[in-house]
Amino acid sequence: MPRTSTRLTFAVLATGAGVFAMLQSLIAPALPTVQHALHTSQSTATWVMTAYLLSASVFTPILGRVGDLIGKKRTLVAVLVIVTIGCLLAALAPTIGVLIVARVVQGIGGALFPLSFGIIRDEFAPSEVSGSISNLSAVIAAGGGVGIVAAGPIVTALDYRWLFWLPVGIVAVTTLIALRYVPESPRRAEGRVNWLGAVLLSGWLVALLLPLSQASHWGWGSGRAIGLFVAAAALFALWLFAEARSHSPLIDLRIMRLPAVWTTNAAALLFGAGMYAIWSFLPGFVQTPSSAGYGFGASVTAAGLLMLPMLIAMFCSGVLSGRLEPVLGAKKLLIAGSALGAIACGFLALWHDQQWQVAFAAGVFGLGIGLAFASMANLIVGSVPAEQTGAATGMNANIRTIGGSIGAALTSVLVTSRLQPSGLPYASGYTHGFSLLALLCLAAALAALLVPVQRAGRISGTPRASSDVPRTEPEAVAPGARS
C-alpha cells in the first residue's frame, strides 16, 4: 500500500478524534429530551453520560497500550469501526437500556486520542510533530465545544437521534479512508498486554468514577459510595503492586515517575477539574430562570450560543500554540492556559449578571483550554519513548477525565447544597462553585511551574528528559513527511 500525504493522515485523525470529543458533550444538553422520549427517570437518564465516562476511562489507556504493541493503525481502524457501531446502535435504541449499552460501546473511542498522537509522532517529520499535536489538540478541545453548541439546533430541527445518525456517516467514511491511506506505525513496543493490569486498572477506575458521578443521587455518606471508594483505594494499591512486578506492564510506572510526566499529569488532573465542571454547570447556569435571582432563562440553543466564544477561542489558541511552542516552550503555554482558566472562573464568580459577561468569561476560558490541551500533549509526547506514546498519552487523558469527575462532583456539592423553595440553587452556590474552579485552575498553574524546563521547538523520537526511562533498543529517527 503506498504511503500518502501526512495532510490526509492528519485529516483522518482529526476527524475521528474530533467526532469522539463531540460525542462526549453532544448528548448532555439533550438529556431531558432523551428522558422524555424513552419514558425514563432523570436518575436513569444520567447513566447515558456515566456509562460513556466509565467506558472511555477504562479503554483509553488499555487500547493506547494495545496500539503500541500490535500497531497503532490497526487499532485505530478497529476503534473507528466500534464507534460507528456504537453510534448506529444509539440512533436505533428503542429503550434507555439499549442507549446506555450503545454509549458504553461509543466510549471505547477514547482510545482515538492516544492512538492519534502516537501515529503523528511515528509518521510526521520531527519538525512537524509539535505543531501537528497542537492542531489535533485544538480539534479535540473544539469538538467538546461543538457538542454543546450544536446539540440544541440539531434536536430542535431534527430529533435527538440525529445526534448519533450524523456521526455514523462521518465516522464510517473516516474508517474507510483510514484503512486505505493511514500508514501502519513502524515502531512497536515489546511484550504483551498485561491482562491482570488491565483488569485491576479497570476495577479501580470504575470504583472511583462511579461514586463520583452518582454521589449526588446516592449521597456521599451512603454505603455504596463509601464502599466503592474503599474498593478503589484497594484496587489501586493492587494495580501498582502488579504493574511494578510485571515484566510487561500495561502502564510502565517508571514512565509515570518521570519529572516531566508526573508534573504534567498533576496539572492535567487539576485543570481537568475546572474545565469539565465549567462545561457541565455553565449551560445550566444560563438556562436558570431569572426569577431565581440569576440566570437568563435561556433555551438549550441560546445556552449553546453563549458558549460559542469558548469554542472559537479554544480552537484558535490551540492552533496558535503550535506556532508559539517552538518560541516559548510547552511549559509556559501550560502555565498560561491554566492561569487563563483561573482568571475566567474568578471573573464568573464576581460578574455573571449580564450575558456578555458570561460569554466573555467563556471566551477567556476557551483560550486557556486550547493552550493547555496542546501543551500537555506535547509535554507527554516529548518526554517518553516512542513505543510508550499510546499508553502515556492515554493515561494523561484519563487523569484529566478523573480530574473532571472530581471537579464536577465538588461543584455539584457547592451548587446544590442549599436550594430555594422552588428547588433551584441559590446564586451563592454558583459563586462558590466558580470560586472553587478558579482555585483548581490556579493550582494547575502552580503544578505546571514544577514541569522541568525543556528545549522548545522539536519533538523527535528521543525523549527530552528520559535518563531513567527503560529502553529496549535505540530508537530510529521519526520518519519524515511523505507526500
Alpha carbon distance 186, 461 (integer Å): 12
Check whether residue 158 and residue 218 sit in a common domain: no
Listing DSSP states for 7-26 in one string gives: HHHHHHHHHHHHHHHHHHHH
Q: Which one, of 152, 410, 388, 148, lies nearest residue 272 by Cα?
A: 410
First to last CA, the chain: 14
Contact 182, 73 (CB under 8 A): yes
Q: Examine residue 459 and state whether it is found in any structural domain, yes or no.
A: no
Which of 214-223, 266-275, 392-401 has the highest average model confidence (pLDDT)?
266-275
Q: Examine residue 482 and state whether it is found in any structural domain, yes or no.
A: no
Q: What is the pLDDT of residue 356?
A: 94
Q: Examine residue 384 and state whether it is found in any structural domain, yes or no.
A: yes
pTM: 0.83
Check whether residue 207 and residue 303 sit in a common domain: no
Q: Take residue 79 and report the three cell numbers written for it.
A: 476503534
Check whether residue 187 and residue 201 sit in a common domain: no
| Residue with the larger pLDDT of the pair 79 and 188 | 79
Q: Examine residue 57 and state whether it is found in any structural domain, yes or no.
A: yes
Q: What is the pLDDT of residue 183?
A: 86
Q: What is the pLDDT of residue 235?
A: 96
Asked whether the predicted pLDDT for residue 156 surpasses 90, the reply is: no
Total domain count, the chain: 2
| Residue after which a domain boundary falls, among 205, 225, 247 | 247
Q: Examine residue 478 and state whether it is found in any structural domain, yes or no.
A: no
Alpha carbon distance 261, 385 (integer Å): 12
Check whether residue 175 and residue 203 sit in a common domain: no
Listing DSSP states for 423-481 in one string gives: SPBPHHHHHHHHHHHHHHHHHHHHHHHTSPP---S---SS-SS-TTS--SSPPPPPP--
Model confidence pLDDT, tens digit, residues 230-246: 999 999 999 999 999 88
Q: Examine residue 455 and state whether it is found in any structural domain, yes or no.
A: no
Q: Examine residue 185 and state whether it is found in any structural domain, yes or no.
A: yes
Check whether residue 119 and residue 134 sit in a common domain: yes
Check whether residue 113 and residue 24 sit in a common domain: yes
pLDDT average, residue stretch 431-460: 84
Asked whether the predicted pLDDT for residue 465 surpasses 60, the reply is: no
**Domain ranges, residue 229:** 194-247
pLDDT confidence tier of residue 455, bands split at 50, 70 and 90: low
Alpha carbon distance 225, 204 (integer Å): 13
pLDDT confidence tier of residue 4, bands split at 50, 70 and 90: low
Alpha carbon distance 264, 259 (integer Å): 8
pLDDT confidence tier of residue 471, bands split at 50, 70 and 90: very low
Q: What is the pLDDT of residue 116?
A: 93
Q: What is the pLDDT of residue 275?
A: 87
Model confidence pLDDT, tens digit, residues 321-352: 888 988 899 999 999 999 999 999 999 999 99
Check whether residue 128 and residue 235 sit in a common domain: no
pLDDT average, residue stretch 444-466: 67
Check whether residue 46 and residue 160 sit in a common domain: yes
| Residue with the larger pLDDT of the pair 113 and 300 | 113
Contact 345, 278 (CB under 8 A): yes
Model confidence pLDDT, tens digit, residues 49-91: 888 888 988 898 889 888 888 889 999 999 999 999 999 999 9
Between vectors from CA 189 to CA 184 and to CA 193, what angle results, nearest 5°? 105
Alpha carbon distance 19, 168 (integer Å): 10
Asked whether the predicted pLDDT for residue 381 surpasses 80, the reply is: yes
CA distances from 280 to 269, 283, 347, 407, 434 (A): 16, 7, 18, 10, 12
Residues in the chain: 483
Asked whether the predicted pLDDT for residue 456 surpasses 70, the reply is: no
Alpha carbon distance 442, 434 (integer Å): 12
**What is the CATH number for 312?**
1.20.1250.20
Check whether residue 226 and residue 286 sit in a common domain: no
Q: What is the pLDDT of residue 422?
A: 86
Check whether residue 98 and residue 135 sit in a common domain: yes
The dihedral region occupied by 419, where left means phi > 0, alpha psi between -120 and 50, and beta the remainder, is beta
Three-state secondary-structure class, residue 246: coil
Alpha carbon distance 387, 134 (integer Å): 20
Q: Examine residue 166 and state whether it is found in any structural domain, yes or no.
A: yes
Provide the mean pLDDT of the chain: 86
Check whether residue 138 and residue 204 sit in a common domain: no
